[in-house]
Amino acid sequence: MDRKKPKKLQYARETAAGFLFCSPYIVFFLVLFLIPLIWAFWLSAMNWNLMSPNREFVGLQNFLNAFRDKKVLAAFKNSWKYFICVVSFSLIGGLVIALLVNRMPMRVRGIGSVLFFIPYLTSGVAVSVMTKYLFSYNSILNTFLREKLNIGINWFINPTSAFAVIIIMIVWKLSGYYALYLTAAMQGISADVKEAAELDGSTGIHRFFHITLPMMLPTITTILTLAAGTSLGVYTEPFLLTEGGPGNATTTWTLEIYYRAFTRFDSGYGTAMAILFAIQIFVTIRIINTVMRKLNQKYGC
């Protein structure tokens, strides 16, 4: 018995030391994730503006109202439009830039990567302000189109053109960033693999689609996950350019959550919308990871 006490004491000390070293993360998890999450579910069942001393328990009514809200349904529909356009065009743009950078001489390859990466570092607010000026009625672009080509486009009044402008802005910012990942993936392919492909007669486009692209699948998986989160959480561009219009054509989840919770001060309903938004992000990313995991297993990556 006397021998077991020192072992138990040592085990207790090691356990306490382990909890002590993990305590920063535990506190971070509790304060910034678990407690706010529990409070959010509680708030979603309330009709409350966070300021009035009176609050009303409404249960699941906020969630039921969200499924009948035209703005929420428009945000849900637009989120998939943003997702498809941003993810596909950003990935294609990143691949094109990566191929261009990979073909540059070694002495200028780093400079080329940095130049393509600069748009990602640019403030979204600054880019939105410049874009709004560029596509305004009296801008140089619209003046040229009207006077020289007899073309008049109300960019932010037409739903299609307004959505297209926002997509172009986002893709322009993200393509250079994702190109860094893809360039590193391309350069990480062994020279032996390339030489073996050339000996087997696989060159050019055939080698890119049958060898290079499959070997880049782990990196592409990461990019798809990042792009999905970015596309579903678009806020700055539609807020500054269109305010979600025209006719809810460019509205997003984050925009409607902001308007509901911080403009109309309906915090319970806004929180319910945020929970539904989080569920959509979770399901979307799970689908992407499942599909890409099967592709990675198929190609042995």
Q: Do 123 and 39 belong together in one domain?
A: no
Q: How confident is the model at residue 300 (pLDDT cuts 50, 70, 90)?
A: low
Query: Is pLDDT at 282 greater than 70 in this prediction?
Result: yes
Residues 164, 16 share a domain: no
**Mean pLDDT for the stretch of residues 68-91:** 93
Do residues 20 and 122 both lie within one domain? no
pLDDT at 1 > cutoff 60: no
Same domain membership, residue 69 and residue 40: no
Question: Are 130 and 15 part of one and the same domain?
Answer: no
What residue type is 50 in one-letter code? L
**What is the average pLDDT across 102-111?**
83
Residue 76 in any domain: the answer is yes
Q: Which of 27-36, 57-66, 67-76, 254-263 has the lowest mean pLDDT?
A: 27-36
- What sign has the CA pseudo-torsion 117, 123, 127, 128? positive
Q: What are phi and psi of 70, to 5 degrees?
A: -65, -35
Does residue 284 belong to any structural domain of this protein?
yes
Domain that holds residue 115: 65-298
Cβ neighbours of residue 160 closer than 8 Å, sequence gap 6 or more: 249
Question: Which residues have CB under 8 Å from 73's CB, separation 6+?
Answer: 67
Model confidence over 113-170: pLDDT tens digits? 888 888 898 888 888 888 888 888 888 888 888 888 888 788 888 899 999 999 999 9
Do 35 and 71 sit in the same domain of this protein?
Answer: no
| Side-chain half-sphere exposure of 288, counting CA atoms within 13 A | 22
pLDDT, the chain, mean:
87
* Residue 51 in domain: no
Q: What is the pLDDT of residues 199-212, one digit of tens each?
A: 777 777 878 888 88
Asked if residue 291 is part of any domain, the answer here is yes
Q: Does residue 192 share a domain with residue 140?
A: yes
CB atoms within 10 A of CB 150: 7
57 in a structural domain: no
CA distance 93 to 182: 11
Residues 132 and 38 in one domain: no
Residues 245 and 126 grouped into a single domain: yes
In a domain, 129, yes or no: yes
- Residues 152 and 290 occupy one common structural domain: yes
- pLDDT given for residue 140 in this prediction: 86
**Is there a contact between 229 and 85 (Cβ–Cβ < 8 Å)?**
no
Q: What's the total number of domains in the chain?
A: 2
E-strand spans in the chain? 46-47, 56-57
Coil, helix or strand for 176? helix
Asked whether the CA dihedral 173, 174, 175, 181 is positive or negative, the reply is: positive
Any domain includes 60: no
Q: Which of 289, 186, 271 minimizes the C-alpha distance to 228?
A: 289
Q: Do 98 and 237 have their domain in common?
A: yes
Inside any domain, residue 55 = no
Q: Supply the pTM of this predicted model.
A: 0.85
Model pLDDT for residues 230-280, shown as the tens digit of each residue: 999 999 999 999 988 888 899 999 999 999 988 888 899 999 999 999 999
